[in-house]
Amino acid sequence: MSSRISIDEILETVDMIVYRHLNIRAVTLGLNALPAASSDPGALRRGVARIIREGASRLADAVSEVSEKYGVEIVNRRVALTPLSLVASPMISSVGPRSREELVALAQDIDDAAADVGVDLVGGYGSLVQKGESSADVALEESIPEALAATKRVCAAVNVADSRSGINVDAVLRMGRVIFRAAQLSPGGRGESCARLMVLANAPDDNPFMAGGFHGVGTGDAVVNVGISGPAVLLAAVKSAGEVDVTGLAETLKRVAFKITRVGELVGREVASKLGVQFGAVDISLAPAPVEGESVAEVLEAMGVDAVGSPGTLGALMLLTDSLKKGGAMAASRVGGFSGAMTPLSEDLGMARRAAEGHLGIWALLAMSAVSATGTDMVPVPGDTPPEVLSSIILDQMAIGVATGKPVGVRLLPVPGAKPGDVVDFGGLFGSGVVLPVPRLGAARLISRGGRFPPPVSSLRG
């Protein structure tokens, strides 16, 4: 078989870009912030800010040049830092108000530096606590509500579980309280700070998508990762496939995923080359947007599901995610991040519509997370939902992640004063969504026992 690219394939890719709104959702520059570690708060803040200003000084220009060269829209420019609980550890001797104040000041300096270099979001304000927490981890986690309220670009991510370590129940309980307080302190009064806060299991350290992104400890000083998009492209492909059987549908999805991923790889390598840094991975996630035609839910329904959330949704979602991974893996030198179909409720117009109609609830979203790419993501809930119930939802999602061995995340958005059925607009890519009813009962008595869920027996593989 010839390895040449045919004219038809070139024209198909052009059609994806020009007419089907194929875009690169995020180019994320990961930066090692550990050299800035210091016991002096002022030196620490200046050091981290300098790493951002120097490391990302050409990111915006490089992204614009590559976007213009290939005619591909690149929606977001992002920076991911080493988890800051590690960087700030020498500064924090105890958990208390003074430590939290110093951490919030660090977040503000990071926010200012990101604005100076034209970065949309910056991740890494977080910790990796799946095996336990240091005083620096606890101090940073408890500072998250104030840090998010005081910034516009900073994103927080806390990994509380993984398949080799189990689930840190103390951290699960704490993060429910953190989410509740972050919602109460949100400047706009809609709980919008929580859109920049994710609780994770099996966190990937090459994740270009926020709020879960951070720079991996075992990674080089600087690396570029790319997150692709393309629901409109997949939607058009499914519609044009006609009445093929599911095997033929899977082949169609794989072929399109291959082409989308090749575009992402090309863009990522070009940006990395211009910055003189290493290229990392392509996250082949199908990332939706809150506009017509850019919905993963629409793709699933075009495949044959009557309404997302109805029986058959998980089967269609599994087929879509598997096809994306198979097609993308053949196209990329390295696949990373979440990789698969993303199902954030408020960021997907079709998902939000089905939730408003009553087809999607918390339990359906948790079930979908077993075969999707993310988890219980961008879900508005009543603002008076007890923190222990938020922790209980987190626990369920972490259990799915640990049992399946896949990355999952939770972004719950408690909306102060809202009741089930209210529609809340979070703005921009965060979209809008209906407030879902949440049970008032949870597992507070279980979670309050503390400790750590042991890892499953599958962790003994090796």
Print the domain residue range for 89. Answer: 22-450
Q: How many CA atoms lie within 13 A of 84 on its CB side?
A: 33
CA atoms of 332 and 98, how far apart (whole Å): 46
Residue 43 has pLDDT above 50, yes or no: yes
Per-residue pLDDT tens over the stretch 128-186: 999 999 989 999 999 999 999 999 999 999 999 999 999 999 999 999 999 999 999 99
Within a domain: 385: yes
Structure tokens at 256: 């399109």
Per-residue pLDDT tens over the stretch 370-422: 998 888 999 999 999 999 999 999 999 999 999 999 999 999 999 999 999 99
CA atoms of 37 and 422, how far apart (whole Å): 45
Residue 124 has pLDDT above 80, yes or no: yes
Within a domain: 137: yes
Q: What is the pLDDT averaged over residues 183-201?
A: 93
Helix (H, G, I), strand (E, B) or coil at 92: coil
Of 153-162, 190-199, 233-242, least confident by mean pLDDT is 233-242
Per-residue pLDDT at 4:
46
CA atoms of 335 and 74, how far apart (whole Å): 19
Q: Is the dihedral of CA 454, 457, 460, 462 positive or negative?
A: negative
Q: What is the pLDDT averaged over residues 267-288?
A: 91
- Which CATH number covers residue 246? 3.20.70.20
CA atoms of 429 and 211, how far apart (whole Å): 12
CB neighbours of residue 3 within 10 Å: 4
Per-residue pLDDT at 363:
93
The per-residue DSSP string of 175-195 comes to HHHHHHHHHHH-TTSSSGGGG
Per-residue pLDDT at 460:
66
Strand pairing category for 452-453 and 166-168: antiparallel
CA atoms of 127 and 160, how far apart (whole Å): 9
Per-residue pLDDT at 2:
38
Is the previous residue joined to 43 through a cis bond, with omega within 30 degrees of 0?
no
Per-residue pLDDT at 11:
44
Mean pLDDT of the chain: 89
Within a domain: 211: yes
What percentage of the chain has pLDDT greater than the value 70? 94
Within a domain: 170: yes
Residues 265, 209 contacting (CB under 8 angstroms): no
Within a domain: 4: no
Nearest to 264 by CA among 436, 108, 119, 73: 73
Within a domain: 421: yes
Helix (H, G, I), strand (E, B) or coil at 368: helix
Within a domain: 27: yes
Within a domain: 10: no
Q: How many CA atoms lie within 13 A of 371 on its CB side?
A: 15
Residue 6 has pLDDT above 90, yes or no: no
Per-residue pLDDT at 329:
87
3-state helix, strand, coil in the chain (%, to 5): 45, 20, 35
Total domains present in the chain = 1
- Token look-up 């109805």 returns 310
Residue 119 has pLDDT above 60, yes or no: yes
Residue 253 has pLDDT above 50, yes or no: yes
Per-residue pLDDT at 333:
84
Give how far Cα 102 sits from Cα of 66, 87, 92, 94, 95, Å: 38, 13, 9, 12, 11
Per-residue pLDDT tens over the stretch 46-105: 999 999 999 999 999 999 999 988 888 888 999 999 999 999 999 886 666 788 899 999
Residue 7 has pLDDT above 50, yes or no: no
Residues pairing with 16 in the sheet: none
Residue 18 has pLDDT above 50, yes or no: no
Of 2-11, 152-161, 316-325, 449-458, least confident by mean pLDDT is 2-11
Residue 279 has pLDDT above 90, yes or no: yes
Widest Cα–Cα separation across the chain: 67
